[in-house]
Amino acid sequence: MTTMRAKLQINSIARTPGLETLKFNAVCPPSFDKDGLHEDSTFSKYSPSAVLEISITNPALHGKFNPGDKFYVDFTPAPDQAATVGPV
């Protein structure tokens, strides 16, 4: 099973009634650390470019995210739901 971890940072948030749209980019260190001692440098070396946009309609999550917040995003294969559903 192949997995991957990315580190993303919120670039901007569009807030409208009932909806928040978060735009993420790959982390980018203020200055590149060639020795890899700064975690953002290590992530940007192996995944230098990433863009992700998520729209949130869950009111419990509105206002919980801010530009500049950083998150790990784990990519783990999901099972094929059609293959796991039994007869109806």
* pTM of the complete model: 0.77
Q: What is the pLDDT of residue 11?
A: 96
The predicted structure's pLDDT at residue 40: 87
- What is the C-alpha to C-alpha distance for residues 51 and 26, in angstroms, rounded to an integer? 7
Contact 48, 29 (CB under 8 A): no
Beta bridge partners of 10: 24
| pLDDT tens digit at each of 88 positions of the chain | 678 899 999 999 999 999 999 999 999 876 655 665 678 888 888 888 899 999 999 999 999 999 999 999 999 998 887 665 555 4
- Residue 34 has a pLDDT of 64
Residue 40 corresponds to which amino acid? D
Give burial (CB, 10 Å; 0-12/13-18/19+) of 71.
middle
Domain spans, the chain: 1-61
